[in-house]
A and B are shown apart, each in its own frame.
Chain A
Amino acid sequence: MASFKPTKVQFLPKLGEKVTEETLYWKNYKSPVQIKEFGAITKIDFSPLPPHNYAVTASTRIHIYGPHSQEPIRSFTRFRDTAYGGRFRGDGKLLVAGSEEGLIRLFDISGRVALRQFKGHSKAVHMTSFLSDGFRVVSGSDDLSCRVWDVPSAVELSSLTEHTDYIRALAPSKLNPDLFVTGSYDHTVKVFDMRSGSSVMTMQHGHPVECVLLYPSEALLVSTGGRYVKVWDLLKGGQELVSLKNHHKTVTCACLSSVGNKLLTGSLDRHVKVYNSSYKVVHNFDCDASILSMAIAPDDEALAVGMTNGVLSVRHRRHQKDKEMLTSRRRRGPSYQVFVKGKNFVPRQDDFLVSKPVKQYLRKYDKQLKSFEVSKALDTALQTWTRTSKPDVTVVVIIELNRRGTLKNALAGRNEEIRGCFCVLFFRHIFDPRFSRPLLMVGDIVLDLYQQVFHQSPVVERLLQRLMEVLGREAELQQELLQVLGILDTLFTSLTPRKEALAHNGMHVTRHDIEQ
């Protein structure tokens, strides 16, 4: 004797986002901590030393935050004008920052007063950085020059004026202390070698460059500017590898995750996008305002995003421990113990197993279908909770009743309330392509059955009026769509000289109208 086969609720895969390991990884961040700064946050930099404090440059200050602190643990406030581009040295002990007035200051992390001041730029310095030997500082300024400074003596070693517009992006090489990359608003990215004292490579980005970034291997270079993110292969002499256009406003910042070197970009369109190694977007973080700066902590422990409205939002990674705490809280008391009793018994090798027949648990509507109680099954499926949160269950039961040829019986003899129920169901789901067919069938039967009594109830009549309006609108829309399709067809056929007719498999447009 075969057992009863329960009705199957069709599982339809969600279109669009697919769940991969990467999306799971990037989803595993807690909700952001918001910290208000005094002005737009232009630069965030994580200290390479644990516990990985980070420096946030905003307005005339640089604040240093601890990994989990809400308040700054240290702040550098001796700027007369807006500070820019605060960055740590490789050992995390020194910090360099430019400013609106063209002065570059060097701070000790533990001190307050600037240790050195480098004077020479005539305009604002937006980008400063240490070269990888730690004794030299490189800066890019709005006076079109790029200068290298000696830290011990605070003198200018060289000045490079190859760019023809503001220099707003700078990245020193970590492998070679003489190399650094600059990006400028003149649409170019240049690689400078201090040994030759001039640029050794120039790449045309095509838009004002906002940010440059070197991969740890330093074979790849990322530049962002305009809506584009471009990746260059330095080993092939600066050949463009990919050009990504996933943002719809200027991309202002980019960084690399330390686990797997995944690229993250932030843009004025308020999104942070995460790319996988083949440069497909795998995840997206939404922010409240346009993003100006962004940094990710080593081991991806935290992601800090700075925005134009002065809000710093920090997302921390969720750890396995936290998760366990959550789940263990859910498992409550002895009920679990009772449930699991004897289930974890492992039989020994020579034990003889007597299998117990597995009891079949059925849903309520399945039980009723099993005993051929069709009206009751329909009632169960039409309960408010099922109808609103799981319309697919309702529709599956309707389809099943139709297959059994008992839909009409189940629908007959209903009161006003249920009829209203159906109308509401129609409003919600009749245009869902999954449900429209069975619902239209139900609609036909309901109208046939209750034609005589509809006018007795004003509520149902009003609902039906509304339904008619909605359907009329939908019919018009479909007609317009068909017209557009026709136009497109003619366009395609004129474009392709080949004989084969193009087949459009999307959007099949057949909708019947319920006539009252």
Chain B
Amino acid sequence: MVERSDIRVVRCGGSKVNLRPPIISTDSRFVLCASGDLVKVYSTRTEEWLHSLQGHTNQVTGIALNPANHLQVYSCSADGTVKLWDFIDGILIKTFIIGYPLFAIYVSEKHEGVLFLHVSMATDSKNECFQLVAVHPPKSAEQEVEAKEMSVVSSHISSNPSCTAFGRGGEYIAFARRLQLNVYFFRKQKTCSFSLKATDKKGAKNAFTCIACHPTDDCIATGHEDGKIRLWRNFIHKKEYTYSTQHWHHNAVNTLCFTPEGTHLLSGGIESVLVQWQYGAGNRKEFLPRLGGSILHISASSDGQLFCTSHSDNKITVIESSFKVCGVIQGLVKGDAVLTDLMIDPRSIALVLNGKPGHLQFYSLLRDKHLYNLDIVQQEYIYEAGLDQFEVVKAAFDIKGSWLATVEERGQKSSDLEFFLKLWAFDERTQSFVLNTTITAAHTDRIISMCFSSSEETTMLVTTAEDGQFKAWCQGADADTQQDQNFWSCDFVGSYHNLKPTNCSFSADSSLLAVSFQEVITIWSPETWEMLTTLCQPPGVIRDLCFGRLSCSKYLLGTTTRNLLCCWNLLTCALEWSSSVEVSKLQPDPLSENVAAFSYQSKHTDLFVFKPSEPRPLFTNKNVCSEKVHRAVFVPREEPLNNCDESSQWLNRSQLYFLTQNMDLLTFSTATEEDRMLSSSKQLVIDDSVAVTPFYLLLGKHRQQQQKLNTQSHPAADKPQQPQGSVTIKELLHTPAHVLPAASVLCSMFVNSLLISNTGVQQDPLREEMDSEKEEEDSEEEMEACDSQQELRVQGSVDEVTLKLSKAQERELKRVRKTDFSWMAGLIDSKP
């Protein structure tokens, strides 16, 4: 990326959480998943994102719990490093530099200190060359270690990491590739391989899709492309192996997983049904249907109480072993394409785009959190490949966010097209959108674009369709009914020489409506529905249209397919300026005059930000990304920045987000913003620990005190202990009894806290005494007699006496304790 100023392109939120199987920590409290270049830690109970492990510079491609320490996790990344983390505190412990892009990581209990990595050999240009290598990470105290020692376990393995699995805690490793299953026995160091025919008589497709090994038994389960599950046994002998077949899935089995005890086998596929097979009981199975998108991965916690499934709609579901869903972690859903534009909900400033099939998703960009899904289609979704189902293709919000218009469509491929136009009203009570009107045959052909009028008083929707017409829809056009029925109905139908309309746009005060018909832009007055004028700049079909805002509201901008960006002055109805740029997306900022134009030229995208009043760009960023940009949106900031720099001023009021063809959500960030972000993240690190509960205050502080005592004994550090002790007591007395731990636990703690405060005070005289000890050595013998007397008294009633002792007496006591009585032992020994 070329950086001229301090503005740079950053990838922002919403990366995939379903790339690799999530893992559940041993205590079942956390779910870890790889998401972009982070490892995210979620709570299984509350589904909240707790923190993330940040450090990789490329996509994290695998995570695995450290078998030696269950509080640590390994993560591998495409940047060629393996990192070891403490995931509870989010601390990076070690980094191993491998040097090759890594694609998956496996560990096993039997092979402690060995990491098995999925490596693509960069020397070979073919992408089919994946190797499984074993790495012995060198033991050293340094943070960053280069681990170059590698031994290849197997070359030519499948690119799919779920086609590799360890069996019986690491006795053998099974990996499948296309039609071949290989089992490598570590002890014998030999490989058995079994292969299937490509298709059998019934036309089944036998290619392997996933693999799982039984934890205690010699059994390998494999999933196949036609939905069959095969259980392989006796594979130690190359000839006498057997397998049994089970078939429930009607499409490829995506993932298989044995429960830790090995009593059940879990499988999932595109049907989005989690199937639990009883191991060794033939066909007995349980189902958990309608989980969301198709199941990509399943993982089980080590105690078998929780399962995690990750789905194609960027979602992780946490399921109890009783087959009850207990949590859903939802990321930003990005399908193959965003059919609706990127939009901003004016109420919640959430990014809105189509998410789950038939739904609109609301995603908070600030918190990088999925807010909710709005069911648009309201039909049962059938999880079957190649089925043509309703999809939300268009959506628009009105300026206040009280109305939402959606278009759902079915039959993109076939000739019979079905579509519905739906209008949703915002319900203040339930704080969500409620269906108001469904229009079944809004147009006779596909709706191309739609927009709401931008005035606050009256809302009007304009739709343009391929049937050559544009229609204006108004709320409650029937005046004769006395009740205010707020249904929408058609108000006006317009067309222009039977040309196909391409786009429509309202001016900022909605006094004008511009509808482009092929090469001609027509300007209409929405009050009278009179056509005011036509604008035309041939050749080239108009692609994008937008009006200028604020001080530039007299300008109308348009882009054509023939690489022309035109700006008309609406007062003179003449072309003000035009420039030859191939613009793929034109996006006006709703809060300022600025307009952003993404242009795609010679395999990279450039961004120009300009004001319609002058053809000179305010800001140019060459080579924003290498793909075409079709979707972009300006998001108003919560609090405006005050950048004085001319080139970054356009980012003061709102932020520009855009979506590339690879479905990466990118944004521009400025230096000041990053500073602010950094400072806030530092704060986060400080107070990231456990939530502040009364219990924590009691126990946590106590632990801190102990630690301090153990490590250092500064008088200064010990001084404030007394007041803290009293705080603890107060806390104890003031917290309700039902939140406190058992009294047996507390009692010793409580008493200890009292004692510690005493020792704290006592230590000072002790130290003073140490210095004077030598002086007093001489008089030691004299004091002996009275010492022994005192000792007796102490033994008699410890508590009373210690409390009543004066300072001088205490000092005396300490001194006596320190004195060496070893000579007495010598005497005793020598006597007999």
Contact = CB atoms under 8 A, between A and B. Distances in A.
Contacts of B389: 403
B636 interface: no
Nearest to B441: A508
B493 A505 contact: yes
B290 A7 contact: no
B378 A500 contact: no
Given A405-B384, A500-B531, A503-B493, A280 B480 contact: yes
B815 interface: no
B201 interface: no
B482 A403 contact: no
A508 B469 contact: no
A1 B494 contact: no
A2 B290 contact: yes
Nearest to B325: A1
Interface string B377-404: 0111010100111100000000000000
Contact of B482 (A8, A20, A501): A20
A280 B498 CA distance: 38
A4 B387 contact: no
A328 interface: no
Given A1-B291, A403-B410, A405-B387, A7 B494 contact: no
A5 interface: yes
A500 B496 CA distance: 7
B740 interface: no
Given A7-B379, A403-B389, A278 B480 contact: yes
Contact of B490 (A10, A400, A441, A505): A505
B290 A503 contact: no
Contact of B289 (A1, A7, A18): A1
Given A280-B480, A500-B494, A500-B531, A404 B387 contact: yes
B769 to A, nearest CB: 61
Contact of B469 (A7, A369, A400, A503): A503
Interface in A1-58: 1-8, 10, 12, 18, 20-22
B382 A18 contact: no
B380 A4 contact: yes
Given A403-B389, A403-B410, A405-B387, A369 B380 contact: yes
Interface string B314-325: 000000000001
B493 A5 contact: no
Contacts of A10: 438, 440
Contacts of B469: 503, 505
Interface in B480-525: 480-483, 490, 493-498
A501 B379 CA distance: 39
B288 A500 contact: no
Contacts of A503: 469, 493-495
Contact of B495 (A7, A437, A501): A501
B160 interface: no
Nearest to B469: A503
Contacts of B290: 1-4
A369 B480 CA distance: 43
Contact of B481 (A2, A20, A500): A20
Which of A2, A3, A12, A22 gathers most chain B CB within 10 Å? A2
Main secondary structure of the interface of A (DSSP, over half): loop
Contact of B288 (A1, A4, A12): A1
Contacts of A499: 531
Q: How large is the interface on A (under 10, 10 to 19, 20 to 34, 35 or more residues)?
A: 20 to 34
Which of B380, B382, B388, B469 gathers most chain A CB within 10 Å? B380
A131 to B, nearest CB: 38
Contacts of B438: 10
Nearest to A498: B531
B444 interface: yes
Contacts of A437: 416
A8 B378 contact: yes
Contacts of A400: 379
Contacts of A278: 480
A501 B387 contact: no
Contacts of B440: 10, 12
Contact of A501 (B444, B478, B497): B497
Interface in B721-761: none
Given A1-B290, A501-B498, A404 B382 contact: yes
Nearest to A11: B438
Contacts of A4: 290, 380
A233 B290 CA distance: 68
Nearest to B437: A13
Contacts of B498: 501
Contacts of A7: 379-380
Contact of A5 (B379, B387, B531): B379
Contacts of B380: 4-7, 369-370
Contact of A403 (B378, B379, B497): B379
A5 B291 CA distance: 13
A18 B378 contact: no
A405 to B, nearest CB: 5
Interface string A472-516: 000000000000000000000000000111010100100000000
A22 B378 CA distance: 35
A403 B388 CA distance: 7
Interface in B440-498: 440, 444, 469, 478, 480-483, 490, 493-498
Contacts of B292: 2
B410 A5 contact: no
B480 A508 contact: no
Contacts of A508: 444
B63 to A, nearest CB: 26
A369 B481 CA distance: 40
Contacts of B416: 437, 441
Nearest to B324: A1
A100 B289 CA distance: 87
A4 B603 CA distance: 46
A149 B575 CA distance: 86
A8 B440 CA distance: 14
Nearest to B319: A1
Interface string B523-545: 00000000100000000000000
A470 B488 CA distance: 37
Contacts of A403: 379, 382, 388-390, 410
Contacts of B325: 1
Interface in A382-425: 400, 403-405
Contacts of B382: 403-404
A214 B531 CA distance: 48
Nearest to B531: A500
A5 B378 contact: yes
A508 B379 CA distance: 28
B478 to A, nearest CB: 8
Nearest to B492: A503
Contacts of B384: 404-405
Contacts of B494: 500, 503
B811 to A, nearest CB: 60
A170 B481 CA distance: 35
Nearest to A18: B481
A503 to B, nearest CB: 4
25 contacts: A1-B289, A2-B292, A4-B290, A5-B378, A7-B379, A10-B440, A12-B440, A18-B478, A18-B481, A20-B482, A20-B483, A21-B482, A278-B480, A369-B380, A400-B379, A404-B384, A437-B416, A500-B494, A500-B531, A501-B497, A503-B494, A503-B495, A505-B469, A505-B490, A508-B444
Given A403-B390, A404-B387, A505-B490, 16 more contacts: A1-B288, A1-B289, A1-B325, A2-B290, A18-B478, A21-B483, A22-B482, A278-B480, A369-B380, A403-B410, A405-B384, A437-B416, A501-B495, A501-B498, A503-B495, A505-B493
Interface of A: 1-8, 10, 12, 18, 20-22, 276, 278, 280, 369-370, 400, 403-405, 437, 441, 499-501, 503, 505, 508
Which 6 pairs of residues, A with B, have the shortest CB-CB distance?
A: A503-B493, A5-B380, A2-B290, A1-B325, A505-B493, A404-B382
